Structure 1
Amino acid sequence: MPVVNLSLQVLPVVDEKDIYPVVDSVIEMIRETGLKFEVGAMETTIEGELDELLEIVKKAQTICVEKGASRVVSMVKIDYKPEGVTMDEKTYKYRK
């Protein structure tokens, strides 16, 4: 299966003081997968196989609820092409 990019933004419905700790828990779960990822100001982009990435999205919802969210709104963007696509090929020219 080709490598694709998935960007995930989770917005847990918790008290404002708890937003970052909940989001940090999701980012830690992503880190533990060993996949390539980049944390941005508004979302985290992950590189991997589509099925694996969609499992991460599902786990993110569960983590937010386990950390006290009464609801989770998530935005997911997927960049897929049959031959694969990497984060580096899209951003290398900006990292000189």
Structure 2
Amino acid sequence: MLAAFSVAPSGGEQPDASVHDAVAAAVDIVRRSGLPHRTDSMFTTIEGEWDEVFGVIKEATEAVGQFGTRVSLVIKADIRPGYTGEIDGKLERLEAAIEERAEN
């Protein structure tokens, strides 16, 4: 499965409402998990089996909780049993389709 998630604290003490320290704590947990992952400006996507992916998301959410009085968590999952390597595979198929359209 692929799971894209965004986690952020609220009610923290940062005067500019910045959440980069909290997000860094979450991304560090994802990186240490050893699971395939990708982080962009809005989400972190992680690939693996249900229990391992959601275990990492839970740990990352708990880490972010230390930076505020509440935590917001958004998750979108692509569940495709029997497939692995989709964190790159989906992008490769997209780029091939774009290239094919450009040639036609």
Task: With the length of structure 2 as denominator, give the TM-score of the two structures.
Answer: 0.78
Q: CA deviation at 1:50?
A: 1.1
Aligned with 2:34: secondary structure? coil
Say which structure is richer in strand. Answer: 1
* Residue number in structure 2 paired with 1:70: 69
Say which structure is richer in helix. Answer: 2
Aligned with 1:72: secondary structure? strand
Listed as ranges, the gaps of 5+ residues in structure 1 are none
2:8 and 2:22 in contact (8 A); partners too: no
Count of equivalent residues: 91
* Residue number in structure 1 paired with 2:102: none
| Cα distance in 1, alignment partners of residues 95 and 39 from structure 2 | 16
| Cα distance in 2, alignment partners of residues 7 and 65 from structure 1 | 19
Q: CA deviation at 1:84?
A: 2.2
* Residue number in structure 2 paired with 1:91: 91
Aligned with 2:2: secondary structure? strand
| Cα distance in 1, alignment partners of residues 95 and 23 from structure 2 | 27
| Cα distance in 2, alignment partners of residues 82 and 21 from structure 1 | 35
- Higher RCO (C-alpha 8 Å, min separation 6): 1
List aligned pairs for 1:14-93, cutoff 5 A: 14=12, 15=14, 16-17=17-18, 19-66=19-66, 68-85=67-84, 86-92=86-92, 93=94
Instruction: Name the Cα RMSD after superposition.
Output: 1.8
The structure with the largest alpha-carbon Rg is: 2
